[in-house]
Structure 1
Amino acid sequence: MRRILFPLILGIVGCAILIQLGLWQLRRMEWKEGLLDQVEAGIQADPVPLPAAIDPSMKYLPVTVTGTTTGAEIDVLSHTKEQGGGYQVVSRFITVDGRAIMLDRGFVPQELRHVERGAVRLAVRGNLHWPDEKGSATPEPNLDENIWFARDVPAMAEVLETEPVLVVASFVEGDAQGIEPIPVAVEGIPNNHLSYAVQWFLIAATWAGMTLGLIWRIRQRKY
């Protein structure tokens, strides 16, 4: 009995820790689902006119803007399930009260990227957004080809000479010029806690199996 006591204790303690980690991930999943419900409610709220002062704390705020594109745009590499690869078009947009902001008008397939899109007047309903897309492995934009690999609000604003304000269109009234809006949605916000919980529980099961195997081998040894 004394020979198996240490591995038994180690197995029990290890399984307990791993199971608690799995349960913690389930609690995190419940928290994240509640947060996503709040975000979705905010996204779907009644829009307001574009505020005079804007900061990232207003992320997802529904707004309405009316104005004119200038023809200057940034093409962000993107894709959709329906059309495959293409680009998300971020245009320089001058509002009726003279503010220069950025308007994410939506998606165009690869073959429509170089279609001429001149200035056009639009009335837009959408959401303020600060996408968290740029990571350490994200390539720098190819400014010569005007191809970006992530929406980086401050960097795009500097290139387009606008306020660091991005409105992602959900509905456009006017000539969309072949661009299909991609509204902000909670589907783009990751919630991987269930898969993490399953991983911890599987590790706990493996730990328990290895512990039982070790105890069996110890008991098979002859004195």
Structure 2
Amino acid sequence: MTRWIGLAILGMGGIALLLALGLWQVQRLEWKSALLAEIEAGIAAEPVSLPNDIDPEDDRYLPVRVLGRTTGDELHVLVSTRRTGPGYRLIAPFETDGRRVLVDLGVVPTAEKEPLRTGQSTTVTGNLNWPRETDSFVPDPERDRNIWFARDVDLMADALGTEPVLIVARTLDPPVPGVTQLPVSVEDIPNNHLQYAITWFSMALLWAGMTVLLGWRMASRTSDKA
């Protein structure tokens, strides 16, 4: 009898725990989906002038429109997307109304890394962003070859002598020849809670199956002894 009680506690307890984790991930999925919808609406909102006081958290994804000029300087960030293939993001200083900020102009194919684009006047419509692309596994930039492996806003601002503010261009008017924009999108924000929920529910089903199998074996042994 003790073995059956232990099996029931182990089986039902494990199933309950795994189901609870699955339901928690479903709740997280609903929360994340609502958050992404809010962010998407903010990204597509009417652009405003570049604020004087900018907060990296409160103003993340803020749509802005600025008139100014690129300088002809660039930092090249290695990137590969299904849309553009392998290439480099162009991060350039942008001078506007006495300020100097960073602009992610877009991407060029690997073969068009050099020569650098000349400076030009343009209107940038895009979104403020501070990409979270750096961690202990990302290599340091190869500055002598002008190859960067992540958009580190603070480090790039220091290298180019700008404010630590990055505008990711959605459109350029007039455009920079040969450059394809990679605007901010919620597609860049992970939402894996559905996969996590399916995993936990699958484990609960497997746990239930294993519990039934163990109970069947225990019953078979009891029958054989009888």
Q: TM-score range by the shorter chain?
A: over 0.9
User: Matches of 2:10 and 2:79 in 1, distance apart?
Assistant: 49
**How far has the Cα of 1:103 moved from its partner?**
0.4
Contact 2:73 2:116 in 1 (8 A): no
Match in the other structure for 1:27: 27
**Segments of 4+ in structure 1 off by > 3 A?**
none
Matched, 1:141 2:167: no
User: Matches of 2:120 and 2:7 in 1, distance apart?
Assistant: 73
Match in the other structure for 1:72: 73
Match in the other structure for 2:62: 61
TM-score (norm 1): 0.96
Contact 2:91 2:104 in 1 (8 A): yes
What are the superposed Cα offsets for residues 92-142 of structure 1, whole Å, 9 maximum, x if unpaired?
A: 1111x1211000001111111113311111111111001111122111111
Q: How many residues align?
A: 222
What are the superposed Cα offsets for residues 4-29 of structure 1, whole Å, 9 maximum, x if unpaired?
A: 22112210010001001001000100
Task: Report the aligned-residue RMSD.
Answer: 1.1
Specify every segment of 5 or more residues in structure 2 that has no aligned partner in the other structure, as ranges: none
Amino acid at match of 2:84: Q
Matches within 5 A, 1:122-137: 122-137=122-137
Contact 1:67 1:94 in 2 (8 A): yes
Matched, 1:217 2:224: no
User: Matches of 1:110 and 1:54 in 2, distance apart?
Assistant: 33
Match in the other structure for 2:107: 107
Amino acid at match of 2:205: A
Contact 1:19 1:204 in 2 (8 A): yes
Specify every segment of 5 or more residues in structure 1 that has no aligned partner in the other structure, as ranges: none
**How far has the Cα of 1:3 moved from its partner?**
2.8
TM-score (norm 2): 0.95
Contact 1:58 1:128 in 2 (8 A): yes
SS at match of 1:216: helix
Matches within 5 A, 1:155-166: 155-166=155-166
